[in-house]
Amino acid sequence: MKAKLIASLAGYSFLVYLLLLLPFNLYTPTNEFNLPNFLWLTHLLLLYIHEAGHLLFSIFGNTMMIMGGSLMQILAPLAWYFVAQWEGSSLKNTALVFTGVSIVDVSIYVKDAGMLQLPLLGGLSKTHHDWANLMNDWGLIDWSYSFGEMMFWSGMILSAYGIIMGVRHTMTDFRAGGIESTRSSDVP
């Protein structure tokens, strides 16, 4: 049982490490997008989800196709949260962390709408920048950095909350007689 406690807490410390990387690497848009390995892997996975969102939401028209990448990127881990919540799984807290990380990842793209600094996938021209197109269409390009800033801190808070609740849940389960004590009553 102590091994499961240690493994669970080690997992949350890994998520704390991820959370600490975010402000130093995904805060200000730059033309050099050099991320530490773990953050790069996370961003790459989110990028695939983002691109799938464009395809999925394209059936709803051009605006939804443009928004679909960012929407899918946030909705995928959020769906994971709701499924974990419904199943009573403690992974719901990890899903909250990744929902927050996804929001932070989108926030740098939103901040970049007025700057056009980030390199786009496949070297696409700046005319393919989702958020620049949306914010220009909506007449909000001057507010893109502020909106991105709000998204960044919302994502950071959500991720921190997920970590805190996960550690709290782990410790509560351990003190109650073990990590799996909530499931042992289900066995006849």
DSSP secondary structure, 84-125, as one string: HHHHT-THHHHHHHHHHHHHHHHHHHHHGGGT--SPPGGG--
**Residue 122 confidence (pLDDT):** 64
142 closest CA partner among 111, 106, 107: 111
Domain that holds residue 118: 2-26+36-178
143 located within any domain: yes
Residue pLDDT, tens place only, 75-125: 999 999 999 999 999 899 999 999 999 999 999 999 999 998 888 876 656
Per-residue confidence band for 145, with pLDDT thresholds at 50, 70 and 90:
very high
188 located within any domain: no
Query: Does residue 46 have a pLDDT over 70?
Result: yes
187 located within any domain: no
186 located within any domain: no
Q: Tell me the average pLDDT of the chain.
A: 88
**Residue 3 confidence (pLDDT):** 82
31 located within any domain: no
65 located within any domain: yes
Query: What total of structural domains would you count in the chain?
Result: 1
Query: Does residue 186 have a pLDDT over 80?
Result: no
